[in-house]
Amino acid sequence: MNYLGFIWASCTKKNLLQFHWKSMMAPPKIIDYMVVHELCHIHHRNHTDLFWNEVDKVMPDYRGRKLWLKKHSAGLDL
């Protein structure tokens, strides 16, 4: 999840989830999206259709949350 030149979150090969400190500035609904996104990387390490289908199973409205993050990420450091 890379906006503004930094990575919002990541999932390591050992399934450790890491979050950029600015992610806590997002609304809870968007934080939930970040967490679900990274948890789905435990099963699918890339952004293939299989990955997005997994995200969709857990969070059917993920597209709107993803778009919100893209549009508002610049303001999260306030």
pLDDT of residue 31: 96
Tokens of 77: 């450091």
pTM over 0.75, yes/no: yes
User: For 66, how many CA atoms within 13 A lie in the half-sphere containing its CB?
Assistant: 13
Q: 9-11 and 17-19: which strand pairing?
A: antiparallel
Give the CATH number for residue 11. Answer: 3.30.2010.10
Flag whether 78 is in a domain: no
pLDDT of residue 12: 94
User: Digits of tens for pLDDT over the chain (78 positions)?
Assistant: 554 456 889 999 999 999 999 899 999 999 999 999 999 999 999 999 999 999 999 999 999 999 999 898 888 875
Tokens of 25: 């500035």
pLDDT of residue 73: 84
Total domains in the chain come to: 1
Residue 21 CA to residue 18 CA, distance in Å, equals 9
Alpha helix segments (H runs only) across 20-61:
28-40, 49-58
